Structure 1
């Protein structure tokens, strides 16, 4: 189901705030002011955003190089930036295919302007990850992604934007149910052991984004997203520590909260216990 909200640039969006934290240019005054307020609660959040992005690069490269994955679906993809999924994957497999999914009008506009000049093996479609079936059934998705082949579904720092009532764990299960065994799911999610920080940031983001936000969760809640999946090394960790590069560019890290997650494989259907 597409989100047809009109563009209101006075309301910050999580995608544009993330872009600003990365030093990008696709953001507006409301996004910048919201980030400045967020940094008062969690001053090292810029480091968190950078390490999240480097995790995305590493995990996509690992999926392409080590597991031969050539199809990627990036749910809640956010604004395009350097070394996006299609660039990393196609550096390994020139014919790798990528579908980005988002419902932010600014993300869609900028993404289409960038991908229109691409070779056709990457596209961005308007879709709501709380309705993954509609995404899978769209014509543009079917043009690039064949679900009879192994596919990687990416939920990179996005499920904390989903409210409990929309059942983020259930969204993952519904996506997994459509994937061929041997496919992969990558999830990372904002977590904190500090209940005060969790509540403060959740309240701030709900107010700033006009309630387009879920909540900062605890590790055990994210663990549930991986039920009936086979975790690959090093398991579920602060993504800064997920197979870090030897160049040590992850030297700085967030201390108030973390992006927590990992990479897991879809097992044969006979090995699953989901209903």
Structure 2
């Protein structure tokens, strides 16, 4: 896999079922995009009915991604990013933020979603000095992801693994902690892991109702986790200040934004 290539099923737009709600298209709707269909919009509105803060929370999570990448690139000197669970491309994608700060940055995206694959070309338009690529693989297939990522990233130099709003789609029976541990073990000392995950212990009743409605409507299933359970993904790493907090509380550009709605635990940790 060279820079600007898609590794997996190929660049052709794959067929996918638009009659069943899909989380990538639901997220697209919440973010104000147009790559969604009636079942996606219906499921998205059902979730909003259960959790009125849903749209604000999703957008705050997206803003956290941009702040996290900018922080890692500008303040920690990271030049390599592995973004797993990419989603449909929107504004401030990881490569755009990273390469705006450091044009030589290299970014590998990974997702197993045919909806995302159909839009993957938009993720490959990086700066001339840098490079981007896309891996078509499930996060649980860590071997495929890491092998393909090594074709673009140097695993002897620090890498930031971005796990933004993805681990909730790995159920407990699929060993989500083992998945993350494999990724952490593969990256060198000096690397980082950024995570954002929906909570059981923020607006607990509404969150549970929201998850139940989405799980009934869409192909994927969501597993909510508590702050302690999310923190366990980062065992053995050093949390960067301010630690594991609600997404808008993590180094907001404007202090007033810290109190805006979010039901996502978010943070960055350093591998010593």
| TM-score, scaled relative to structure 1 | 0.88
Partner of 1:76: 85
1:174 maps onto 2:182 in alignment: yes
Q: Is the Cα–Cα contact under 8 Å of residues 3 and 103 in structure 1 kept in the other structure?
A: no
Alignment partner of 1:90 out of 89, 99, 102: 99
Trace 1:258-273 onto structure 2 (pairs within 5 A): 258-267=263-272
Partner of 2:26: 17
Structure 2, unpaired ranges of 5+: 1-7
Q: Is the Cα–Cα contact under 8 Å of residues 160 and 193 in structure 2 kept in the other structure?
A: yes
Partner of 2:218: 209
Q: Is the Cα–Cα contact under 8 Å of residues 50 and 207 in structure 2 kept in the other structure?
A: no
Trace 1:110-259 onto structure 2 (pairs within 5 A): 110-112=119-121, 114-118=122-126, 119=128, 121-138=131-148, 141-193=149-201, 194-210=203-219, 212-246=220-254, 248=256, 252-254=260-262, 258-259=263-264
1:21-45 residue CA offsets vs partner (Å, 9 max, x unmatched): 1111121211111101111100110
User: How far apart, CA to CA, are the structure 1 residues paired with 2:114 and 2:65?
Assistant: 23
Aligned-residue offset at 1:3: 9.2
Alignment root-mean-square deviation, CA: 2.1
Report the more deviating stretch, 5-14 or 50-59.
Answer: 5-14
The 1:44–1:199 alpha-carbon spacing in structure 2 relative to 1, beyond 3 Å, is closer
Q: Is the Cα–Cα contact under 8 Å of residues 198 and 215 in structure 1 kept in the other structure?
A: no
The 1:3–1:35 alpha-carbon spacing in structure 2 relative to 1, beyond 3 Å, is farther
1:42 maps onto 2:51 in alignment: yes
1:236-264 residue CA offsets vs partner (Å, 9 max, x unmatched): 1001100001274566414xxx1102000
Aligned-residue offset at 1:142: 2.7
User: How far apart, CA to CA, are the structure 1 residues paired with 2:47 and 2:207?
Assistant: 12
Runs of 4+ off more than 3 Å? 2-6, 115-120, 194-199, 247-252
1:14-73 residue CA offsets vs partner (Å, 9 max, x unmatched): 121111111111212111111011111001101001111111111100000111100001
User: How far apart, CA to CA, are the structure 1 residues paired with 2:139 and 2:252?
Assistant: 29
User: How far apart, CA to CA, are the structure 1 residues paired with 2:217 and 2:154?
Assistant: 38
Structure 1, unpaired ranges of 5+: 268-275
User: How far apart, CA to CA, are the structure 2 residues paired with 1:146 and 1:67?
Assistant: 17
User: How far apart, CA to CA, are the structure 1 residues paired with 2:218 and 2:246?
Assistant: 26
Q: Secondary structure at the match of 2:24?
A: helix
Q: Is the Cα–Cα contact under 8 Å of residues 51 and 250 in structure 1 kept in the other structure?
A: no
1:143-199 residue CA offsets vs partner (Å, 9 max, x unmatched): 321111110001001111111111222111110010000100001100032554343
User: How far apart, CA to CA, are the structure 1 residues paired with 2:21 and 2:200?
Assistant: 23
